[in-house]
Structure 1
């Protein structure tokens, strides 16, 4: 054992210039790796999950549990790779969450859940859908819209029909949630006495409105060797169009329109929440969701690139205010890591100076700290592991300099005792001898430290990710 350790030390001293060149190359590669290293505040800790959401308005929790949640649970049980199945039944809402093992691709898990949903025995008017493929790091950007000219309902329409579409086009964004502001709707207030007098049922009113608000094709007409497409444009554009919809006809053939049996007005859907900010009781907010597996910093950079173009698409008088930006948390995390590293290295150097009573020796002893971190950055890049507070914030600087302290202290002791009047070559020989004295103990000490950390690599689940 000692023979090859001695050979390694001799080679390092004889080829000391080559060692310096290799160190410089490691520094350059480490600096490049730092710039290329993806950053995030915290890693994704949860296993792949697929959440099935079913809206069934008007039903109580007991009914939702019996006719929606239980049939869904029955079909979703036993999916390959499934680890748990949980559900929540509320008024008009059913949420079923199934969790898979860590190695399961989310696309495969979602496909398997969709296949099971088709077999579920639930009411026809209950339509379950999957939550977007998000993880625990779902929200990365929040904003709200302001305008002195548009109402909250108008801002909500801009958010739903313009902003959602533009932000969802950005790679890495899985969805946009719109909150606040009433959702615009057209209300048809039917007069029951008019219905009875005309002999019209409520179902006829529903059918007439749905058929009128549709575009249908009528084939084509051939003329001069060309085909002219025939289309019926029936999309309703406002209150007047709705009032003009024909429901039926009386005995004389006079059409009975919506205006004859009902009043049409602009209203809003039933609200399930409201957003307030400062002195404003009702503001419109947008929440950008991160696709699972994407890096937050890279997706936010794409958002920043598209943001000026998106803001230009806003109507005159409408402004956007940023409420939350995940990059602020990432920058704060980087600042915390940088502070910890600087403080740790500085504290180690100061203590070494106090105990070794030799500033150059203390600086030499502390050199392995940045070198080890640069090598760690290179390895993180090679294995595709992003830098975060957990991977970099708990570095033990004492372990990094343990071997250096033993090696430098022994060399300084031997040189101070025996090398004062020696020539350069003899001092190198003494340095070689001093290094070989502690080479084997240092190697075994490092092996013991590595052995103590090996069980960490056997951890599974959340513990393994930490």
Structure 2
């Protein structure tokens, strides 16, 4: 028994299967992650090294050339480029598409570790893997009338923690803050007069700012752990630190230096609404839903603005809102396309019941496609929705052919809707399958495209295939079943 005949003779079973598919599709749609584009696995590594005070020529000769030689020894490297600037070296290594970048990074790290002696002292190249998830999904501006140091302290100790607790947030980065710094400014004349060396002063400060374990005391069933805390708690502790003894009198830090409670030198300045402020970048976890994460962040922004009236948290960049607007635009295109297709069918068929039969094929095929998108491991993004929009117009082709042939057999052969639905669908089923396959073949080459373009268009092509396969099954099962019940003899 062929599929059209089985569906027509067992309408309850066909209806139940359709409802199951709809439930599965709607459940899958609610669980799909929403992103702007498909996940792109890059094949680029970046090696960065700092050599403070060195000129670009020295950096290139002592660091960049060495790192390039190490990178070239790793299998799979296709291209190496570098930039040597004052005090900094950046070497970018590109691998072939599909290469295991994580394994290459381990090999490169091992080669660097075994040859570190060839680099200047304290120079340690670091390896970075380019990841689109490193870009913040939300950037916030923090404005306040508080003292800059106090505002930075509030951000580091309280507000940053609140944003980090939002589900899906991986890291919260603060830029432009005034980090507290206790500075010891030596007086060269006093140091020279007392015959002190800089190393001796540094050693005295380091030795005085310790928190050391002092062992354990056991007595019967009890055990007490001892510590010898000697960390600085205020500026006077630093000023009273003894450097050495001279003629029985101590020489302290306060005698040869000024101890200041200040903040670190600013290397970047952030302004929010023409006033100094702080920028906060929030990054999401790789498997988190961007839209859900941003919604959680904005809910936390409202709570922070309510709990801390002395600060104002202002959204600067919201990737989630951009994704939502982009997805909404494509979704509207899908709805407009489906609606116009139904109106065109109504105009030519001039029959409400026939139009309803075909119109039902569109949403059922679309919802079933979401199930295949979910189980295919894709996300809801511009490419998958673009494929869905592309497939909507072709979803009704098979259903129109089936319904038209059922009409023809009713008109010419004088068959009942029941018999016409079975015979008419069987008559054109081979042609519909062949037509669908020829359409699917067009998208087959996209599966072999390499690089970023391949990642992007692969999902679009797969969704078109999913939608057309679902539409084919609907046209050969649900359409004849509905036609046998809804069409008038």
When the two structures are superposed, what TM-score results if normalisation uses the length of structure 2? 0.81
- Deviation for aligned residue 1:458: 1.9
> Which one of 5, 13, 20 corresponds to residue 10 of structure 1?
5
Determine if the alignment matches structure 1 residue 211 to structure 2 residue 240.
Answer: no
What corresponds to 2:231 in structure 1?
Answer: 235
Contact map agreement 1:134 1:292 (CA 8 A) in 2: no
Secondary structure of the structure 1 residue equivalent to 2:416: helix
Mapped partners of 2:295, 2:315: distance in 1: 15
What corresponds to 1:342 in structure 2?
Answer: 335
> Which one of 46, 55, 72 corresponds to residue 50 of structure 2?
55
What corresponds to 1:285 in structure 2?
Answer: 279
Contact map agreement 1:142 1:288 (CA 8 A) in 2: yes
Q: Pairwise mapping of residues 169-184 of structure 1 onto structure 2 (< 5 A)?
A: 172-184=168-180
Which has more helix, going by share of residues?
2
Determine if the alignment matches structure 1 residue 200 to structure 2 residue 177.
Answer: no
> Which one of 84, 89, 92 corresponds to residue 94 of structure 1?
89
Determine if the alignment matches structure 1 residue 35 to structure 2 residue 49.
Answer: no
Contact map agreement 2:8 2:421 (CA 8 A) in 1: no
What corresponds to 2:460 in structure 1?
Answer: none
Determine if the alignment matches structure 1 residue 249 to structure 2 residue 245.
Answer: yes
> Which one of 352, 377, 383 corresponds to residue 376 of structure 2?
383
- Deviation for aligned residue 1:225: 8.0
Cα deviation, 1:273-315, whole Å, max 9, x if unaligned, reads 12112121x211211123445442454466578x489949987
Contact map agreement 1:133 1:174 (CA 8 A) in 2: no
- Deviation for aligned residue 1:199: 0.2
Cα deviation, 1:50-70, whole Å, max 9, x if unaligned, reads 444433332333333333333
Mapped partners of 2:112, 2:155: distance in 1: 31
Identify if the C-alpha distance between structure 1 residues 45 and 343 changes in structure 2 by more than 3 Å, giving closer, same or farther: same
What corresponds to 1:331 in structure 2?
Answer: 324
Which runs of 5 or more residues in structure 2 are unaligned? 457-489
> Which one of 358, 364, 380 corresponds to residue 357 of structure 2?
364
Mapped partners of 1:9, 1:242: distance in 2: 89
- Deviation for aligned residue 1:95: 3.0
- Deviation for aligned residue 1:370: 1.7
- Deviation for aligned residue 1:443: 1.5
Secondary structure of the structure 2 residue equivalent to 1:38: coil
- Deviation for aligned residue 1:114: 3.6
Contact map agreement 1:212 1:235 (CA 8 A) in 2: yes
What corresponds to 1:432 in structure 2?
Answer: 422
Mapped partners of 1:106, 1:230: distance in 2: 48
- Deviation for aligned residue 1:21: 2.3
Determine if the alignment matches structure 1 residue 135 to structure 2 residue 132.
Answer: yes
- Deviation for aligned residue 1:146: 3.5
Q: Pairwise mapping of residues 50-129 of structure 1 onto structure 2 (< 5 A)?
A: 50-80=45-75, 82-100=77-95, 108=103, 110-119=105-114, 120=116, 121-129=118-126
What corresponds to 2:469 in structure 1?
Answer: none
Identify if the C-alpha distance between structure 1 residues 87 and 288 changes in structure 2 by more than 3 Å, giving closer, same or farther: farther
Which runs of 5 or more residues in structure 1 are unaligned? none
Mapped partners of 1:294, 1:107: distance in 2: 21
Cα deviation, 1:103-160, whole Å, max 9, x if unaligned, reads 5666655544443442333233234445587425621122233433x32233223334
Cα deviation, 1:26-71, whole Å, max 9, x if unaligned, reads 1122111111222112222241544444333323333333333333
What corresponds to 1:418 in structure 2?
Answer: 412
Contact map agreement 1:56 1:93 (CA 8 A) in 2: yes
What corresponds to 2:40 in structure 1?
Answer: 45
Give the length in aligned residue pairs: 452
Alpha-carbon RMSD:
3.3
- Deviation for aligned residue 1:447: 1.2
Contact map agreement 1:159 1:286 (CA 8 A) in 2: no
Contact map agreement 2:144 2:277 (CA 8 A) in 1: no
Contact map agreement 2:181 2:263 (CA 8 A) in 1: yes
Contact map agreement 1:135 1:292 (CA 8 A) in 2: no
Secondary structure of the structure 1 residue equivalent to 2:380: coil
- Deviation for aligned residue 1:235: 2.0
Mapped partners of 1:360, 1:10: distance in 2: 21
